[in-house]
Structure 1
Amino acid sequence: MVSIPAPAAATAVVDGQRAPAQRNGAPKRPNPGSNRAWKQKKTKRERNITEGSSEEVLQYDILALLESRKSGPGTDAAAEDTIPAENDEPLPEEGTEIEVDVLELSSTGDGLAMRPGSGQVYVVPFTIPGDTARVKVFRHLRREQHSVADFVSVTKPSPLRDDARVQCHYFASCGGCQFQMLDYPEQLRLKRRVLDKAYRNFANLPAELVPAVGDTIGSPLQYGYRTKLTPHFDGPPGFRPSKRGRNPKVPSESCPDIGFMQKGKRKVLDIEDCPIGTTAVRLGLARERERMRREFQKYERGATILLRENTRRYLDDDDNQGEAPPEDGDHLPPYTARSEGDGFVDVKSCQTDSKATTTEYIGEHTFTNPAGSFFQNNNSILPIFTAYIKDHILPPPSSSSPGAGAIKYLIDAYSGSGLFTITLASVFQHSTGIDIAADSIASAGRNAALNGLGEDRCKFIAADAGQLFRNVAYAPDETVVVLDPPRKGCDADFLAQLRRFGPRRVLYVSCNVHTQARDVGVLVRGEGEGARYHLESLVGFDFFPQTGHVEGVAILNRHDSKAEAADQKDSRYR
């Protein structure tokens, strides 16, 4: 992966101490008595930056903005002279308020702003390009050529901004949402751009090997979609946790603030309601806040509250074990919500016990999970998402390589509770799901049975994904692999094993499009032993409207040397 150069620094903070400046990036004079080359130390913050992290993504966007200011259309030498050299201009004192012009939007969801005549970038949340904003300078990071600022107000709004769209009065304080001031088509356009930039910055591939990113596929619900929320609260004032329990236990004198972290601060913002949550989850939040007002003295430390939607479905053509679906109003149990679908009635409640079983439905499929386990948090988009995966899991008939047989098998790596294995089972003769977590595999087995799938159709293996192909006997030419790893992406050992196995087709789903781009680059470059792939398509799904997050789906096909040779031979006789 391309490394990001550290900008020159007028002052550097190393382990909390200010170090003297090195003007214009000149290296410190080496010690004549030492044979070791001098190397500038990284700050603690720089040492904690990992591949595909928000810090690294932000730094790419900042450098791109600075470069565009130097070489953008219409830029001349006189214009460049109005921007002081890097880190040379005096910066406002930390804690002061200034006005900045927002020029760009980072893939982190934060605005990137500058002041006229300045070469310093200000990272400002809750702003969009075209805004002029009043901000409070929080910290200067000269080595990284930017300053962090708190949003205060908009003094001149962007044409894209309409604050009447904002549906949460905690917006611009809570760190959960960034885009409530934007209309939904603009949010989708921005998320397409996030995916495009991820592949430009992290795939390390020439542009001609990366297809144009498709339009982001939107969520049917832009509010009221989240089926899981995890508000939290801090311990009593003055509480300090101790591993040996030696610190005195001090009960709270009043109910603590319950909610989510305030943007840019280590402080819980008291939040009574969250409009991106489903109705049942919001009712659950109200119920838990009432409970905490009665029971807060029982808590001697902070905690997280789990709010997970659970669905009880009543079918029109079923006796429902003698139960009729409750009606709205007085007949509906407290803190529950009722909705009607085609041939069924759903009653939705909120579960707070992480070990309790919750149920949800995706089209004709039923899934149960422990409430505290991972499952996608936007049920409204899952039917569209799984239908897209099902429609694209096999190559189009026109793209089949000469002499290639049909794909018959599915390997679902990082399978969790079986979402892809089960929803795709009808496409394949047999499928195998694998996950490192034994409890996820147990849930997957139960879900397969719930959906009428026996071991003759699919099986699940609890093992490290890095050892996956030792447990599967499918022929690579007849196999497609689905990848859905955690945010850190796939490790190098797994990617090497995948390439040695060489499945005919790979479909990669990711909640972090930057680590996805890095991994896809490895498969496409095909360096060393194993198969090499070409990238067929890229598209994003909006699982989290009002936020900067986008889910990426990349589809790859194996370069088949035998098929290519046969195609070349045929072409000689055409």
Structure 2
Amino acid sequence: MSSNGTEAAIQAQAESNPHKRPLQNSPHGKQAQKPSKRQRKKDKKHIVQEGSHEEILLTDVQNLLASLKASDDAAPTEDGVSETTTQETALPELGTELELEVVELSSTGDGLARRKGVPDEKHVYVVPFSIPGDVVKARVVRHHLEEGYTAADFLSVIAPAPYRDDARIQCQYFGRCPGCQFQMLSYDHQLRIKREIIVKAYKNFSELPPELVPTIGETIGSPLQYGYRTKLTPHFDGPPGMFRKNVPKKPLQACPPIGFTPKHSRTVLDIEDCPIATEAVSEGVDCRAGENEDGSSPNENPAVPAEVECQPGRAKDVLVRIDTPSHVDFKTCITDQKAPATEWIDNFRFTSPAGTFFQNNNSILSPFTAYIREHILPPPAEGQKPIRYLIDAYSGSGLFTITQSSLFPGGSIGIDISEGSILYARRNAAANDLPESRCRFVAADANELFKSVSEYDPDETVVVLDPPRKGCDGNFLRQLLRYGPRRVVYVSCNVHTQARDVGVLVRGVEGVKRRYTVESIRGFDFFPQTGHVESVAVLNRVDE
């Protein structure tokens, strides 16, 4: 059995101005400039999104500042009485190079540091590519005065932390490309950090007392730590005026840099190879090199990398061949976002448009879906009905609906707002020989989800949630509580919004009697070398 699917899609995203302004952009000192009227208007409208990188960083900075203040308040003076230092230390001008001591790691993957030799400064410096214990040289980029921190660019390591080993780094762009933060760490250490990220998420965002949050399990690692990522989204700068209406578009005179935009920069970093990408994707990233298929040079035809087609019998077009016990899979690289991309999870085959969401680390999907299978059913309990039904909210192309369907004799239903995703989910069910009586899909807004499953007895039902990074909205959580399924398995790529939502399900909401307890929480490392971690929380309904 062979697959003519793709290993990944490389989506080229044209950006006329990829740089986004932060909440505060006013430097401190002589270089301070008065913000423009347009900028003041933008800043006034800025709202920090729940669960965003910005909110997570601000929370960690504020917690560190509070601990520093508490430490200073508790420090006795020579006469034995504690006092607080009120003198304000002037911040360095933009562009200043500093020596910083990293004291903590933010859940964003950035180091939180203090200026070396300035112990009285109540200010935090945020430095990427650094870890606690490092002394680093960094350049001041931007002061966020109201938030109490300064963004800085990493320059070099002056004195490494004991567990930092730069010999582990496998990427020539590390320290400039924003994609990875942890290549200098052992993989076991990375997994410990990711467990701590989940611990902090529930401490800071769930609003639950510690006794209601179970001990976070050890993070389950990825079988591949490099060469795992099946999709990348490189950027490039389009020609001038490309987004202006009624303006003639000027063609590019040469192939632009294609890659990723470093922090605090407007310039795309040209990437020829990405070691966390699969072999097929790496070939696609660098396929602009050499001659085009028509014999012309890339500079004569500057465009997004061309799609590499793969068909049975055309071995010259096959980039990577994967042999498994059950099938042979030909991995190719495509750039057409609408083209079908196929992945195998054990004996399950999934196809979806390359530009839509599918998990980006195929190597961990087998142990991941096995873990869900082991935990999706509650332990047998006397007097309780057996579980018969599965509701897969935010089902996408059917990952959980299909892989878990054998456990539910009454049937599984996947629900998603995207009709396109539902179309592919139905095709995937058919491709895996699952009749509609066992596995069906409905296109519906999640806020109207439970109208589609009125025939499912909640005492016999498990709900799987896998929402986007923003998590579930309040209306959906209220609906879920009203329906009251026996068990909920919450899968999330953003443990902070997961913690917020789980807190709602445990506390309950006014006017609804249902609530839940948390049985277990465990992380999965879908993105080794980075600060990202996924989490699975298992909840049981409280029957009072």
How high is the TM-score relative to the length of structure 1?
0.82
Native 8 Å contact 1:109 1:178 kept in 2: yes
Aligned 1:248-287 pairs, distance under 5 A: 248-287=248-287
The equivalent residue for 1:420 is: 400
The equivalent residue for 1:26 is: none
The whole-number CA distance in structure 2 between the counterparts of 1:15 and 1:461 is 53
The equivalent residue for 1:376 is: 359
Q: Percentage identity across aligned positions?
A: 56
The whole-number CA distance in structure 1 between the counterparts of 2:431 and 2:479 is 33
The equivalent residue for 2:489 is: 507
> Structure 2 vs 1, CA of residues 70 and 374 (structure 1 numbering), >3 Å: closer, same or farther?
same
> Structure 2 vs 1, CA of residues 43 and 376 (structure 1 numbering), >3 Å: closer, same or farther?
same
Native 8 Å contact 2:192 2:219 kept in 1: yes
1:436-485 superposed Cα distances (whole Å, 9 cap, x missing partner): 00010000000000111011101100010110111112001000100000
Native 8 Å contact 1:359 1:366 kept in 2: yes
User: Does the alignment pair 1:163 with 2:166?
Assistant: yes
1:178-197 superposed Cα distances (whole Å, 9 cap, x missing partner): 00000000000000000010
Unaligned runs of 5+ in 1: 1-5, 19-40, 313-322, 562-574
Native 8 Å contact 1:311 1:346 kept in 2: no
The equivalent residue for 1:390 is: 373
Please say which of residues 63-72 and 73-82 is displaced more in the overlay: 73-82
Counterpart of 2:508 (choices 515, 520, 526) is: 526
User: Does the alignment pair 1:240 with 2:259?
Assistant: no
- Equivalent position amino acid for 1:156 in 2: A
User: Does the alignment pair 1:537 with 2:540?
Assistant: no
Aligned 1:24-423 pairs, distance under 5 A: 44=43, 47-72=46-71, 76-78=75-77, 84-85=85-86, 88-115=88-115, 116-117=118-119, 118-236=121-239, 239-246=240-247, 248-290=248-290, 294-295=297-298, 332-334=315-317, 336-397=319-380, 400=381, 402-423=382-403
User: Which is bigger in relative contact order (C-alpha 8 A, separation at least 6)?
Assistant: 2
The whole-number CA distance in structure 2 between the counterparts of 1:169 and 1:466 is 46
> Structure 2 vs 1, CA of residues 337 and 433 (structure 1 numbering), >3 Å: closer, same or farther?
same
- Equivalent position amino acid for 1:249 in 2: K
Q: Deviation at 1:160?
A: 1.3
Provide the secondary structure at the position in 2 that maps to 1:361.
strand
Provide the secondary structure at the position in 2 that maps to 1:411.
strand
Please say which of residues 226-235 and 339-348 is displaced more in the overlay: 339-348
Native 8 Å contact 2:458 2:484 kept in 1: yes
User: Does the alignment pair 1:16 with 2:35?
Assistant: yes
- Equivalent position amino acid for 2:351 in 1: T
> Structure 2 vs 1, CA of residues 381 and 202 (structure 1 numbering), >3 Å: closer, same or farther?
same
Q: Deviation at 1:339?
A: 2.9
Counterpart of 2:463 (choices 477, 481, 484) is: 481
Native 8 Å contact 2:72 2:83 kept in 1: no
Moved beyond 6 Å, runs of 4+: 79-83, 303-308
Provide the secondary structure at the position in 2 that maps to 1:433.
strand
The equivalent residue for 2:419 is: 438
User: Does the alignment pair 1:453 with 2:453?
Assistant: no
Q: Deviation at 1:345?
A: 3.1
1:495-520 superposed Cα distances (whole Å, 9 cap, x missing partner): 11111111010000011111111111
The equivalent residue for 2:540 is: 557
> Structure 2 vs 1, CA of residues 16 and 208 (structure 1 numbering), >3 Å: closer, same or farther?
same
- Equivalent position amino acid for 2:144 in 1: L
Provide the secondary structure at the position in 2 that maps to 1:245.
coil
The whole-number CA distance in structure 2 between the counterparts of 1:15 and 1:415 is 48
- Equivalent position amino acid for 1:403 in 2: G
Native 8 Å contact 2:28 2:93 kept in 1: no
Counterpart of 1:547 (choices 524, 530, 542) is: 530
- Equivalent position amino acid for 1:409 in 2: Y
Q: Deviation at 1:552?
A: 0.9
Q: Deviation at 1:249?
A: 2.5
Q: Deviation at 1:199?
A: 0.6
Native 8 Å contact 2:469 2:492 kept in 1: yes
Q: Deviation at 1:48?
A: 2.9
> Structure 2 vs 1, CA of residues 304 and 411 (structure 1 numbering), >3 Å: closer, same or farther?
farther
The whole-number CA distance in structure 2 between the counterparts of 1:508 and 1:250 is 48
- Equivalent position amino acid for 2:171 in 1: C
Q: Deviation at 1:360?
A: 1.2
1:296-330 superposed Cα distances (whole Å, 9 cap, x missing partner): 5666xxx876989x998xxxxxxxxxx7xx8xxxx
Native 8 Å contact 2:72 2:84 kept in 1: no
Provide the secondary structure at the position in 1 that maps to 2:282.
helix
Provide the secondary structure at the position in 1 that maps to 2:316.
coil
Provide the secondary structure at the position in 2 that maps to 1:449.
helix
> Structure 2 vs 1, CA of residues 339 and 10 (structure 1 numbering), >3 Å: closer, same or farther?
closer
Native 8 Å contact 2:493 2:534 kept in 1: yes
> Structure 2 vs 1, CA of residues 464 and 178 (structure 1 numbering), >3 Å: closer, same or farther?
same
The whole-number CA distance in structure 2 between the counterparts of 1:84 and 1:46 is 35
The equivalent residue for 1:462 is: 443
> Structure 2 vs 1, CA of residues 390 and 543 (structure 1 numbering), >3 Å: closer, same or farther?
same
Q: Deviation at 1:159?
A: 0.7
The whole-number CA distance in structure 2 between the counterparts of 1:306 and 1:131 is 43
Q: Deviation at 1:119?
A: 1.4
> Structure 2 vs 1, CA of residues 105 and 153 (structure 1 numbering), >3 Å: closer, same or farther?
same
The whole-number CA distance in structure 2 between the counterparts of 1:551 and 1:45 is 33
> Structure 2 vs 1, CA of residues 258 and 357 (structure 1 numbering), >3 Å: closer, same or farther?
same
1:79-132 superposed Cα distances (whole Å, 9 cap, x missing partner): 99898548x211111111010100000000000000231211000000000000
Unaligned runs of 5+ in 2: 1-23
> Structure 2 vs 1, CA of residues 456 and 291 (structure 1 numbering), >3 Å: closer, same or farther?
farther
1:316-372 superposed Cα distances (whole Å, 9 cap, x missing partner): xxxxxxx7xx8xxxx942461123322543321112222221211101111111111
The whole-number CA distance in structure 1 between the counterparts of 2:194 and 2:307 is 27
Q: Deviation at 1:408?
A: 0.6
Provide the secondary structure at the position in 2 that maps to 1:215.
strand
Native 8 Å contact 2:458 2:485 kept in 1: yes
> Structure 2 vs 1, CA of residues 254 and 458 (structure 1 numbering), >3 Å: closer, same or farther?
same
> Structure 2 vs 1, CA of residues 82 and 363 (structure 1 numbering), >3 Å: closer, same or farther?
farther
- Equivalent position amino acid for 1:415 in 2: S
Provide the secondary structure at the position in 2 that maps to 1:560.
coil
The equivalent residue for 1:566 is: none
> Structure 2 vs 1, CA of residues 210 and 49 (structure 1 numbering), >3 Å: closer, same or farther?
same
Q: Deviation at 1:252?
A: 2.2
- Equivalent position amino acid for 2:530 in 1: T
Q: What is the aligned residue count?
A: 504
The whole-number CA distance in structure 2 between the counterparts of 1:83 and 1:340 is 66
